[in-house]
Structure 1
Amino acid sequence: MRPRVKPALRRLDRGGRSLQFGVHPARAVVLADVEPAVREVIDALDGTATVPEVVARARRHGLGEAAVRELLGLLAGCGVLDDAAVRPDALGGLSLAERDRLAPDLDELSVVTGATDGGLGAMRRRRAAHVRVYGAGRVGAQIVALLAAAGVGHLCVVDPGPARRRDLVPGGLGWEHVGRPRDEGAVELARRVAPAVNAWPGRAAARPGDGAPRPDLAVLAPVGPLDPVLVAELAEAGVPHLPAAAFEGFGTAGPLVLPGRTACLRCVEFHRRDRDPGRAMVSARLGGYPAGEVAGGTVLATLVAAYTAGQVLAFVEGRASHLIGSSVDLPPDSRRRKWSWKPHPECGCCPIERDLRRMVA
């Protein structure tokens, strides 16, 4: 290990022999009563020396090995240290320009995860991830661009419909894409911001049974009504999936469905029918819910896309997504409302629920 203080955390002298790492109240770490010898050791943690070398240097300031190792353990436990010896294999195949572009993402991962690998472990999982996005309108195309920019390595986009002027937003499809298939435009966006991304339109193998490589996660952001047949096929194939939409002045994301483990979208529909007896007729007339991108303004669509992309990244990195078994309403005033969904006994999508139904029967 070659310890260094995380470059993303500002180091500030608070006076009175106190030292602060980081500025945000949720991130800042304060060390009080830091002796001058300890301060010398901390100031020298720049990643150029191994732990034995740090110990040897500390002896010149009167600090023993046990004290130095205790200090390093304390700093690592507080999420302040990185190991500069970690090889950047996660960035293999990227040009220097792309590595520079991803530096802010790595810095964020470094402080968010608290790991000592500088965020490289999480970035490795991003680059290995395969995400399929159904829909490339105002929300979906932005999700594709954001995921590519954040380092997701494999992106399949399914939306053969022609791009319309109403599909254009600053972070998504542009004027040059009007009249062309939306999925092709979204793929262009991904490649433009991340030249090394493996992105392709998936019309030839658009459904789980078409023989396409299985994605780690499918995002459902259709321009029209959500296809219940596609949803059922994803559930049957065991593909985790996450709906996202902006319509009628509201945004919604979730639930993130883990087939056989969490409530599915059919469960959600059953719960809604329990509360609203006329729901079944409404759903039948809509052809799918959400009903598509209607009255979803630019800011709202961007809000939904950014929030959804963040949840996708959490999932592929192995962190806990807030949307597993839950959905979130995202109104324009940003006063979020979270809904929790349990498997519905009438659905039978989860083994436990199926067993309960057999017991009741």
Structure 2
Amino acid sequence: MTPVTLIPQAHPALPARTIALCRGEEELQFGLSDDVAVTVPLPRGVRARDLLAVLHRLDGETPLPHALASTSLDSAHENVIAELVESLVAEGVLERGRAVPDPWDAATTRGTGRRQEPSGAVVHMVGRGDMARRVEAPLGQAGFRCQWSERLGLRLDLERPPWQRLGPADIVVLADDLVPDPLVLDALARSGTPHIYLACRDGRVVVGPTVMPGRSACLRCADLYRTDRNPQWPSMSAQLLFTSGWAPIPSRVSAVALVLAELNTLRRSGTESMLTLGHSVEISVEQGLWRRRKWQPHSRCECGAAQADFGIVVA
């Protein structure tokens, strides 16, 4: 996967996601939601609308003195404004530098609609069901390179699985099947390839867990927990091999959005930053349900995550 790098000597930037407003003449407010909004009192002599104009010029490439020069602010305020800007960076209100390229703009040239070259992050889809098809187009639009393999069964080469043979994938998406093929899980464990589960179940869509083989709870860990609660689960799960479930379209679309967000996190920050690492998320728009469930490594699972000293601790 091509790493995202920062512009050399990166300067502060107002993130695109952040709404900045004048709160009277002596304060700025960043964000609108109660759990996000930050109110910042301004130094004496600095008007809110003038500083806001400066902040909107901070894009990660423009030095603060250049941004100040294009406004009506007196240069005598430069030092105190620089201190304020640095404090906003330290608090996470502003960011330092801008990612190159922006992952979500990587596939389309701004204003032209023309496709650019993908970013290099490779996603291998196992399955050709409805959820797999729904994820494919947005992945391409976001700049990912997609590979495919059908249900593999006994045709799977454990030593050279398709996600390695076609070019090493950054992650494998196990799409649609209620119970993933045990042979596929074996091959994923052998190759050490991160993978994420995606399927419809009970009128809901389940996203995750994302598995880092040997380091986080795997899908067999989840099966063992189910077996602890229901000794008949192994025979029941065998009945579900190569079958898929159903969920309403709004829930499927919501799940696709979560998968895209998770894969973007993978591309930018790595697997360990993913919301679904060691967790599954159940989505039902109709029921107003968004439930995140934590999965610990099972002590009887042979994946090794329960015994690994370097096992990942998930919150």
Partner of 2:252: 301
CA apart distance, 1:323: 1.4
CA apart distance, 1:314: 2.0
CA apart distance, 1:225: 5.1
Q: Given that residues 21 and 29 in structure 2 are in contact (C-alpha distance below 8 angstroms), is that contact kept between their aligned partners in structure 1?
A: yes
Q: What aligned pairs does 1:24-173 form with structure 2 within 5 A after superposition?
A: 24-37=33-46, 39=48, 40-45=50-55, 46-47=57-58, 50-53=63-66, 61=74, 63=76, 65-81=78-94, 95-97=109-111, 127-152=119-144, 154-159=145-150
Give the partner amino acid of 1:28: A
What SS does the corresponding residue of 1:252 show, helix, strand or coil? strand
Post-superposition Cα deviations, 1:156-195, rounded to whole Å, max 9, x if no partner, equal: 133489xxxxxxxxxxxxxxxxxxxxxxxxxxxxxxxxxx
Give, in whole Å, the separation in 1 of the partners of 2:165 and 2:304: 25
Give, in whole Å, the separation in 1 of the partners of 2:83 and 2:210: 42
Give, in whole Å, the separation in 1 of the partners of 2:222 and 2:51: 56
Counting aligned pairs with the same residue, the percent is 26
Which stretch of the first structure deviates more once superposed, 131-140 or 55-64?
55-64
Give the partner amino acid of 1:256: T
Post-superposition Cα deviations, 1:123-180, rounded to whole Å, max 9, x if no partner, equal: x9x923111112232211112222223333x11133489xxxxxxxxxxxxxxxxxxx
CA RMSD of aligned residues (A): 3.8
Give, in whole Å, the separation in 1 of the partners of 2:304 and 2:67: 54
Seen in structure 2, the aligned counterparts of structure 1 residues 346 and 208 have a Cα distance that, compared at 3 Å, is farther
- Picking from 9, 23, 30, the partner of 2:32 is 23
Partner of 2:230: 276
Post-superposition Cα deviations, 1:40-82, rounded to whole Å, max 9, x if no partner, equal: 3442342495334457789972635532320220232344446
Say yes or no: does 1:313 pair with 2:267: no
Q: Given that residues 46 and 77 in structure 2 are in contact (C-alpha distance below 8 angstroms), is that contact kept between their aligned partners in structure 1?
A: no
Partner of 1:11: 20
Q: Given that residues 19 and 34 in structure 1 are in contact (C-alpha distance below 8 angstroms), is that contact kept between their aligned partners in structure 2?
A: no
- Picking from 269, 274, 280, the partner of 1:327 is 280
Partner of 1:348: 302
Query: By percentage of residues, which structure has more helix?
Result: 1
Post-superposition Cα deviations, 1:247-303, rounded to whole Å, max 9, x if no partner, equal: 3312212111100101111121111111101112112233x3xx6333323223223
Q: Given that residues 58 and 64 in structure 1 are in contact (C-alpha distance below 8 angstroms), is that contact kept between their aligned partners in structure 2?
A: no
What SS does the corresponding residue of 2:307 show, helix, strand or coil? helix
Give, in whole Å, the separation in 2 of the partners of 1:259 and 1:86: 29
Give, in whole Å, the separation in 2 of the partners of 1:213 and 1:250: 33
CA apart distance, 1:324: 1.0
Q: TM-score, normalised by structure 2?
A: 0.74
Give the partner amino acid of 1:228: P
Seen in structure 2, the aligned counterparts of structure 1 residues 232 and 14 have a Cα distance that, compared at 3 Å, is same
Q: Given that residues 29 and 78 in structure 1 are in contact (C-alpha distance below 8 angstroms), is that contact kept between their aligned partners in structure 2?
A: no
Give, in whole Å, the separation in 2 of the partners of 1:275 and 1:98: 55
Say yes or no: does 1:211 pair with 2:224: no
Q: Given that residues 247 and 292 in structure 1 are in contact (C-alpha distance below 8 angstroms), is that contact kept between their aligned partners in structure 2?
A: no
What SS does the corresponding residue of 1:144 show, helix, strand or coil? helix
Give the partner amino acid of 2:191: A
